[in-house]
Amino acid sequence: MSVSLFSPLKVGPYELSHRVVMAPLTRMRAAQQDNAPHELNVEYYTQRATKGGLIIAEASPVVQTGRGNPRTPGIYSREQIAGWRKITDAVHAKGGVIFLQLWHVGRVSHSSFQPGGALPVAPSAVPISGNFTAMTADGKQVPYETPRALETSEIAGIVESFREGARNALEAGFDGVEIHGANGYLLEQFLQSRINQRTDQYGGSIENRARLLLEVTDAAIGVWGPDRVAVRLSPYGVANDTGEADPMSLYGHVVKALATRGLAYLHFIEPRSSGAGRADVNHQNVPSAMELFRPLWPGVLVTAGGFTREAAEDAVTSGKADAIAFGRHFISNPDLPLRLKEKAPLTPYNRATFYGGAEAGYTDYPYYEKV
């Protein structure tokens, strides 16, 4: 029997009714004072919820020191848990499934976000190059600072902050969590040899560089069980000044290690779309993550990265992926699954309203109306 974008799919304990997933999307519209989700965010997610549809909610810092953008919703305070609870209740009321992406930005931050104006932390004191700019807490663009290398004794605290974030997500009513191991943030910084220059058990060999990601994943599994935990990776990504010389060896090891854990799904960002939202990137003649790593991954594979309806349908029917995560098209088409099913035209997105602001470009995109 042929499989399509609109065939059911079992993800962990959940039965999805279609395979059009909403990707995690930073929108920078949480409440200003406490970075908690509020009513505007409830409306946004409710608009995009569908019966049996999976939403991966936007990356949420698991600890204050893991922030790197203004007004990104966290998952480390009572107010944030309560705010997210309103969103999960609303999504569940429409029959949807919602995971939360757990985040620590590492060096992709600025001292203005850090308690006491401290430097951001990273595996090593390796700054992001001058081709990129940091955002300050008041929204200015400035050069990145050189981060402070984490002491070996501090790393258990990073794992604990992810464990606490996983616990808080459970309390907030989510159906599972996705570990953000992509796009040049802390866990990927540990993975990559150009950024991770450590000489302890978290640096050097591939096994050592993968250690933190696996410890964080296991911490989340301890809270949720394996079938409600997922991981996102960007094996050939270049976001936030990343890039690994030999991605196949590194990510082959990581994927095989994750494959033994019985996760809900593995989520790739395809190399052609490696701008982490900051630019329209469409690299040509680059390897396909889903094709390269599919043979190593026995479970549910979700992939994202500039898919058209036709490309998404092809990826699923060919078995290269089990579900496709859409980002920008889900921003401008709250009813994207319906539009894809009906082969209806898509509303174009407005990049100028992706980050920050209020209703404009957030909750005011139109629904599809049959003529």
| pLDDT confidence of residue 139 | 86
271 — pLDDT class (breaks 50, 70, 90): confident
Domain annotation covers residue 334: no
Once rounded to an integer, what is the mean pLDDT over residues 208-237? 97
Does 185 participate in catalysis according to the annotation?
yes
Kindly state whether residue 171 falls inside one of the protein's structural domains. Answer: yes
- Per the CB < 8 A criterion, the answer to whether 96 and 123 are in contact is no
DSSP state of 114: S
Give the residue with greater pLDDT, 289 vs 125: 125
Whether residue 92 lies inside any domain: the answer is yes
Q: Which position among 45, 144, 185, 251 bears the catalytic label?
A: 185
Per-residue pLDDT band for 162 (boundaries 50, 70, 90) equals very high
Count structural domains, the chain: 1
78 occurs within a structural domain: yes
CA–CA–CA angle 75, 238, 119 (5° rounding): 50
How does DSSP classify residue 34?
T
The CATH number assigned to the domain holding 77 equals: 3.20.20.70
Mean pLDDT in residue range 343-353: 97
Q: Quick one: pLDDT band at residue 285, thresholds 50, 70, 90?
A: low
Q: Is 193 exposed, middle or buried (0-12, 13-18, 19+ CB in 10 A)?
A: middle
265 pLDDT more than 60: yes
For helices 39-48 and 78-93, give the axis angle rounded to 10 degrees: 30
Measured CA to CA, the distance from residue 335 to residue 368 in angstroms comes to 7
Q: What is the pLDDT of residue 282?
A: 47
Average pLDDT over residues 246-268: 97
| Phi and psi torsions of 298, nearest 5° | -85, -10
pLDDT digits (tens, 9 = 90+) for 29-59: 999 999 999 999 999 999 999 999 999 999 9
Residue 366 lies in a domain: no
Asked whether residue 14 carries a pLDDT value surpassing 60, the answer given is yes
Task: Tell me which residue range forms the domain holding 98.
Answer: 53-302
Q: Which residue has the tokens 């709250």?
A: 334
311, part of any domain? no
- Is residue 117 included in any domain, yes or no? yes
Tell me if 237 is assigned to some domain: yes
